Homo-oligomer: A and B are copies of this chain.
Amino acid sequence: MAESTLPKKLTRKDFVSDQEVRWCPGCGDYAILAAIQKVMPELGVPREKTVFVSGIGCSSRFPYYMNTYGFHTIHGRAPTFATGIKCARPDLTVWLVTGDGDGLSIGGNHLLHLLRRNVDIKVLLFNNRIYGLTKGQYSPTSEQGKKTKSTPMGSIERPLNPLRFAIASEATFVARTYDTDVKHMGQVFEAAARHKGIAFIEILQNCVIFNDGAFDPWINKKAKEETLAFLEHGKPITFGAGGRKGIRLRGFAPEVVTWGEGEAPPADLVVHDAHDASSAPAFLLADLEAPMVMGVLRQVEAPTYDAGLVGQIERARERAGGKADLAALFREGAETWTV
């Protein structure tokens, strides 16, 4: 019981908890759960060193199904709890699961500051463009004009692009994937896990009950070759039949170019540089709709908040030279006298 789980090679099953999974049949959440459970053993992190934190929403039930430590917190505030956990215990690997409502409506500010601080946490934002748990109101990612229970005449709000939000929040790792591609999810999750610092992943997730088919125009099997571009660092961004479409810049404006079978691609195709010091290119890619990009848009290195915190403590301890006992503390910065 009390031994670390590392020595023995873990399998997917080790990460399955004893709780019955409670999502609607057909919900995209199942596939995401499966993808995570599959990737976990690859990461070499013992179960007991892993913590899943979530807010409230269908997606936020996630921690119950992971046989790791877990904390299902309150609506929108998961980033705050996760920050406390990681700061108190930088040795833990912290994953955060949130929804488009949880993470971008009520929780937008906490998410923003979590990203900005570069706390070493992996964020999975399940974007189903709807409030699932409360039964179908529009969310900050719902398209304008959307008719829902609370907008019988259509929503009048402009949607937020989660990736642009993350990029503007200075996130050091920003990616997108989708629930019907277990392999791609796995790759992205693994890349996030290996990134040192905050990782933000938008996962397009289908809510069969309240927003079925929201991403169909992009991710359905037939269309997707033409509608999705899978990013690879250092490679030109291509898509379409035979990968014979690419993106070119006209000033700031991206433009799709096509070339014939057997032809060489144009020389001025945009080559994806995830490590670009400037986040402006990623910002531009995030907004593309034809094609929509999938994969890691941005990955740069920066000191993490948790490491900074620990670093200051170490430095302060050095300076104090071991004089940090309570008796010394009581006198610190004060004049004393004796009666």
Chain B, Cβ-Cβ closest to A162: B168
Q: Do the beta carbons of A160 and B156 come within 8 Å of each other? A: no
Chain B, Cβ-Cβ closest to A153: B312
Q: Do the beta carbons of A276 and B249 come within 8 Å of each other? A: no
Contacts of A316 in B (CB 8 A): 153
Contacts of A276 in B (CB 8 A): 252
Q: Do the beta carbons of B170 and A117 come within 8 Å of each other? A: no
| A158 partner, pick from B109, B117, B153, B164, beta carbons under 8 A | B117
| A116 partner, pick from B106, B157, B279, beta carbons under 8 A | B157
Is A169 positioned at the interface, with any CB of B under 8 Å from its CB? yes
Q: Known contacts being A109-B108, A287-B280, is A158 close to B140, with CB within 8 Å?
A: no
| A156 partner, pick from B153, B161, B309, beta carbons under 8 A | B309
| A303–B280 CA distance with the chains assembled, in angstroms | 26
Is A315 positioned at the interface, with any CB of B under 8 Å from its CB? yes
Contacts of A253 in B (CB 8 A): 278
Q: Known contacts being A251-B249, A278-B252, is A153 close to B315, with CB within 8 Å?
A: yes
Q: Which residues of A contact B (CB under 8 A)?
A: 105-109, 112-113, 116-118, 140, 153-154, 156-161, 164-165, 167-170, 249, 251-253, 276, 278-281, 283-284, 287, 302-303, 305, 308-309, 311-312, 315-316
Q: Provide a sorted-by-A list of 24 A–B residue pairs whose CB atoms are within 8 angstroms.
A: A107-B109, A108-B109, A108-B112, A109-B109, A109-B112, A116-B140, A116-B160, A117-B156, A117-B157, A118-B158, A153-B316, A154-B312, A156-B309, A156-B311, A160-B170, A168-B169, A249-B252, A252-B278, A252-B281, A252-B284, A253-B278, A278-B287, A279-B287, A280-B283
Apart from the given pairs A253-B278, A280-B287, 9 other A-B contacts in the complex at a CB distance below 8 Å: A105-B113, A106-B109, A112-B112, A116-B160, A117-B158, A156-B311, A168-B168, A252-B284, A279-B287
